[in-house]
Amino acid sequence: MAEGPADPNDDRAILAVETLSLSFGGLAALASVDLRVLAGAITGIIGPNGAGKTSLLNCISGFYRPDHGRVLLDGQEVTRLPPDRRAALGIARTFQNVSLFEGMTVLDNVKLGAHARLRGGAVSSMLRLPWAVREELRLREEVEREVFDFLEMEHLRRRTVGSLSFGLQKRVDLARALAMRPRLLLLDEPVAGMNEEETEDMARFILDVQEERGITVVLIEHDMGVVMDLCHRVVALSFGEKIAEGTPGEIQRDPEVVRAYLGEAA
C-alpha cells in the first residue's frame, strides 16, 4: 500500500512535528521527535508500551504542552494552543478507553461533535427563533447523512452510551469525531479491546474516512495486521525516540523495530 498519497518526497504535510520533547518529572516521554504527516494519507504510529505514542498524540491534540519543539498544522504553529482551539482548526481525536458523555444518548453525543460549529446564540436557541431552529435541523440532517448512515449506526441513535458494548462505544467515539468535520483525525488504538468482527468493521470505516472523505488519519495501534493493512506510512517509537519511519513493508523489515519489539518480549 505504499503508492498513492504517501510518496515521501511529496511536500503536502498537513501536520509537522519538530524536535518535540516532553518529560514527566525527569522521565523522558518524548525525545526530540520529528514527524511529517502527509495530507490525505493514513499514518500509523507503533511502538512498545511506554514508547510515547499517546504522549505524542496528546501533544498534537493539545492536551500536553511539550517542553521543547513545535507542532505545526498546515505550516501554522499551534504548539501553545489549547485543545478547543485546535479542534476549531480541524483536529479531532478519539480516546484509547473511549471518553464519551456517558449519560447522554448516542445522538446527543454525536451532535455535540458538531456543536462547536454552530453559530446560534444561547438566547436565540432557547427562544427557538427561526434561524436557530433551521440551523438545528440542518445539523440534524447533516449528522444523519454524514455520520449515522456512513458508520451504519442508525439503529443506535436513541440508545444511552452506557448501555452499548465497548466496540460500539468506540464507533460512537469515531462518529462524534467525524461530526466535527475534521481535516486531521487522530485515533488512539481504534481497535483495542474489539473482537474480530468489530475490528474488521472499524478498519473498513477508517479506510472509508480516508478514501471517501479525504480526511488525513493518524492512528496509534498495537494490532500489526490493522497497521500494515491500513497505513501508507508507519512511524515507530521506542523509549520516546523515533527509531524508524517508512512504508509498512520497510518497517516490518527494519532491524531497530524488530529489536524494540523482541527486546520488550524478552
Sequential DSSP letters for 194-232: --HHHHHHHHHHHHHHHHHH--EEEEE-S-HHHHHHH-S
Asked if 87 is part of the footprint of other proteins (rule: CB under 8 A), the reply reads yes
Q: Is 162 in the site for other proteins (CB under 8 A)?
A: no
Rounded to 5°, the CA angle 71-236-207 comes to 80
With b for 16 or more beta-carbon neighbours within 10 A and e for fewer, the 25-59 pattern comes to: eeebbbbebebbbbbbbbbbbbbbeebbbbbbbbb
Give the nearer residue to other proteins in terms of CB position, either 45 or 100: 100
Which one, of 180, 17, 183, lies nearest residue 84 by Cα?
Answer: 180
Member of 25, 49, 76, 122 binding other proteins (CB under 8 A): 122
Give me the residue label for grid cell 523515533. 242
Considering the complex, state which of residue 6 and residue 92 has its C-beta at the smaller distance from other proteins: 92
DSSP 3-state of 35: strand
Q: Does 139 bind other proteins (CB under 8 A)?
A: no
CA dist 241 and 243 (Å) reads 6
Pick the binder of other proteins from 88, 137, 258, 262 (CB under 8 A): 88
* Region near other proteins per CB under 8 A, out of 18-26, 108-116, 195-203, 241-249: 108-116
Residues 9-68 that bind other proteins (CB under 8 A): 61, 63
CB of 230 to other proteins, least distance (A): 22
In the list 46, 71, 180, 185, the residue contacting other proteins (rule: CB under 8 A) is: 180
Q: Considering beta carbons, is residue 36 or 93 the nearer one to other proteins?
A: 93
C-alpha atoms less than 13 angstroms from C-alpha of 61 in its C-beta half-sphere = 22
| Residues near other proteins (CB under 8 A) | 61, 63, 82-84, 87-88, 92-93, 95, 99-104, 112-113, 115-116, 118, 120-123, 125-126, 176, 180
